[in-house]
Amino acid sequence: MILNQNPHTLTVEELAAALKSHPTEGLAQAEAEARLRQTGRNTLSEEKKEPFWKEFFEELREPMVLMLLVTGILYAIWGEISDAIIILVIILTLNTVEVVNEQHSKKAIASLHKLAEPTTSVRRDGHFQEIPVEQVAPGDLVLLQDGHRVPADARLVEAFGLSVDESALTGESLPVEKSTDTIQDPAIPLAERHNMVYSSTLVTRGKGTALVVATGMDTEIGRIAGLARQVKEPRTTLQNMMEELSKVLVWFALGFSVLVPLVGILFAHQPVKQMLLTGLSLAFATIPEELPIIITMVLSLGAFRLSKKHAIAKRLSGVESLGSVTVIATDKTGTLTENRMEAARFEPLEAKGHLLEIGIFCNDAVPDGTDFTGDAVDTALLRAARKSGWDVPAERNTHPILNEFTFDNTRNCMSTISLKNGKPWAAVKGAPESVLMRCTQILKGGKIETLTDTSRQGILELVSHMAAEGLRVLAFAERTLSNENLDQEEIERNLTFVGLVGFQDPPRPEVKDAIATCQRAGVRTIMITGDHPLTALAIGKQVGLNGEHAVITGPELDRLTDDELKEVVQQVSIFARTTPEQKLRIVQILQALGERVAVTGDGVNDAPALAAADIGVAMGETGTDVAREAGALVLTDDNFTTIVSAVEEGRLIFENLKKGVRYYLTCKLALVLINLLPTLLLVPIPFAPVQIILMELFMDLMAAASFVIEKPESDLLDQKPRDSQAKFMDKAMISSIFTSSLGLFAAVTVVYLITWYGTSNLATSQTVAFFAWLIGHVLLAFNMRSERQPIFQLGFGSNRMMLLWAAGVAVFLLVVSIFPGAQQLMKITTLKDAQWGMILGATFVGTFWLEVKKMLTYKK
């Protein structure tokens, strides 16, 4: 829907009529959905999804696949038509697996982007509701809030102290003050259209409502930019490292693939054609080209699994770093507590009605059906007022708010101006210290008196007493003004103190156990809040936060040098009355001490700390768009326990990644050794080329799927956080690869050489080696599912994907053992019972000998 007239030249009523909308009620849900079908979703562009067939043929152009195709062509030319057909089938199977895995990864990441998209509040069917930005339709009435992006081009209906950063659109560096006044000039520059707000700009102060006039590509930003909405996911450190490792290992594999055929031809006098095909097959099977793919898949599917636990990883680098977190710096309200505020105490009690009157007007919450929506404290005040008999909507309609100066962390208060008894009246609420310093008078028994230092001290002592009871305390003040056009500083001086309200926000019942779990996992939790020190201390004690010193306040923190603060942050777990700058400083000091810090935040002022943190955790329910953009992780439930679950999941993802890569490289190294030793002994190699190619199929399926879904070992959270600076391929992992590969190498090589030297029958010997490999590398996978916990404790059947893969290998073995046609295709023969017994015994001993070590060393 595109208006023929310039919306900034229309009055609100004219615009609403043109849009067939309502200036205060917006659209009905059914009408909004109909308009979405007509105009399309509110996005700049839709991501084009590549069809399966196109990705399939793109995958066929990969160098390793082309090498396999060359091998198949040579087979066909040299008369091995059946082998050529098998290779073609394997190509199609491998290609399909790769494309399906890649599509699963893309789908997982796409789902996360969808979940992490910003939302906006629109009024539909008579009440405000939170919807994804892409579902905003022309004619919607949107709620504009401090710290949130404007979801679409819109004409202002209401504006209270509203200013918008339009630098992304106009290049104007300073925020633009907004008003609802109609502009007569249709040709006025966009930067001067003060009654309009535009898509993707940022509300920096105040609030308001606006009618949407354009969405998607019809917006100003859409017409100017026309850029794709989707940004390509940057490669993580681990992905880059694996790509480099792959390049190194490629040369090793190629050298081995050339060495074996040369030795076979020159010294063992093997057929040239056979050795050439063997070399090509070995190159295909041993080059670790799938390493970066495995890592991308594990990270992306791990991120998708995180989303099921209410934690949305916006970047794969965040998933990679989760397991190394050593400190969680969390705020209090809504994260450690339930964010379910109740006005529990009024001081003095006789001023309750007066306090609630101020609370009705100095308030950003709005009616939403039978309840209210907005900040927890604001909604608590409105609920208390309604319970006391106030008709909140009627009061606001009778005394409309003329101007508003929203809360910020510098003033620590907010104020509004409305008409009372025909005169401009300022209502103020905020932190007691900040409000009291602006007061010169006090209301006592209905009379106004001078606020003395003694009275001021008495009020602060009462605040401390209320805070010690776990109450969040706000002070309320007022002032009758000479006129409504005063600036903020003039309005917020010479105030009359009215009283205090104590709000109760109980801690979430599950948080105490979650913090204890963190301590057991070597992850320290600290609270950084702007709340009163005694309130923070009361909540901290209830959830189990302890330190050598009870609490440090922001002003106390400012008096410390960096060296002194380094000592303090190692002892103190609760920081109160902190500013965003102080929160950032704490994070940076912790990082200077070598800690890996996860930081929670929800506001614009939290963005610096979120961006500086190793893992920025933005609140999804109460967080601003700026906070969500700065964070690497978004919590959809704003719950501390979700952070703990995310850390645990991050550890599991990294462990499974190491297990998958370790198994993958172990199989590659074992395959190299199994073929190298017979070559050096001048005997035929243990596998026919077609068998080597088939083995790669089984290895790929294993490495690409089963380890991704492996469940955690029971002592996962008893381990210390991993060192983020440690190498992925550390000494322990390299040692494990070599020892594990030696077991598989020994099992296959022993049964092969015994059979060869005992029978001199190549078909039988290769059959024994082939079957030993298939059984051995399956048993090895089960063994490598755990690093510490014995498999019988972990549960032999707990990984269903691995069981399915093992069953597939068993069915394959059964088919090729029974049917002569299959034996001919696979270049194998029938084995005797004694040979089967030798295979089973050797592979079990060669792969499960490490289980003995686990059983002796595991403690839980």
At 401-453, the pLDDT tens digits run 888 888 877 788 999 999 988 899 999 999 999 999 999 999 998 899 999 99
Indicate the residue type of 247.
Answer: K
Give percent above pLDDT 70 in the chain.
84
Pick the range with the lowest mean pLDDT from 221-225, 422-426, 554-558.
221-225
From the CB of residue 701, how many other CB atoms can be counted at a distance below 10 Å?
Answer: 19
Could you give the 3-state DSSP secondary structure of residue 555?
helix
Q: Contact at 8 Å (CB) between 529 and 602?
A: no
Residue 785 Cα distances to 320, 524, 656, angstroms: 20, 29, 8
> What residues does 544 pair with on adjacent strands?
none
What 8-state DSSP symbol labels residue 605? Answer: G
Q: What is the pLDDT of residue 64?
A: 57
List strands edge to edge, sheet with 615-619: 311-313, 633-635, 615-619, 597-601, 327-330, 524-528, 574-576, 552-553
Question: What are the helix (H) ranges across 310-452?
Answer: 316-322, 352-361, 376-387, 392-398, 432-436
Residue-wise pLDDT tens digits, 792-806? 888 878 888 889 888
Contact of 288 with 250, CB cutoff 8 Å: yes
User: Highest-confidence range of 106-115, 257-266, 382-391, 800-809, by mean pLDDT?
Assistant: 382-391
Instruction: List the single range of 239-248, 443-452, 689-698, 744-753 with lowest mean pLDDT.
Output: 239-248
pLDDT digit string (tens) for 569-616? 999 999 988 888 899 999 999 999 999 999 988 766 677 888 888 888
Helix (H, G, I), strand (E, B) or coil at 800: helix
| DSSP character string of 117-173 | S-EEEEEETTEEEEEEGGG--TT-EEEEETT-B--SEEEEEEEEEEEEE-HHHH---
Task: Judge contact between 675 and 688, C-beta under 8 A.
Answer: no
Which range in 98-112, 151-165, 308-322, 626-640 is most confidently predicted, on average pLDDT? 151-165
Nearest-angstrom CA–CA distance, 83 and 73: 10
Residue of higher predicted confidence among 273 and 522 = 522
Task: Say whether pTM exceeds 0.75.
Answer: no
In tens, the pLDDT along 13-41 reads 989 999 999 998 999 999 999 999 888 88
Distance separating alpha carbons of residues 446 and 309, to the nearest angstrom:
53
Residue 58 in this model has a pLDDT that exceeds 80 = no
Confidence of residue 111 (pLDDT cuts 50, 70, 90): low
| DSSP symbol at 236 | P
Active-site residue list:
331
Please list the residues that pair with 129 across neighbouring strands. 122
Retrieve residue 498's tokens. Answer: 């009215």
Residue with structure tokens 């009690």?
Answer: 349
348 upstream amide cis, omega within 30 of 0? yes
Q: Which of 307, 301, 293, 299 is nearest to 323 (CA)?
A: 299
3-state secondary structure 659-672: HHHHHHHHHHHHHH
List, for residues 73-103, the tens digit of each pLDDT value: 766 676 567 666 766 776 677 667 666 656 6
End-to-end C-alpha distance for the chain, whole angstroms: 64
Question: What is the distance, to the nearest Å, from the Cα of residue 442 to the centroid of all Cα atoms in its chain?
Answer: 49
Rounded distance, CA 335 to CA 622, Å?
Answer: 10
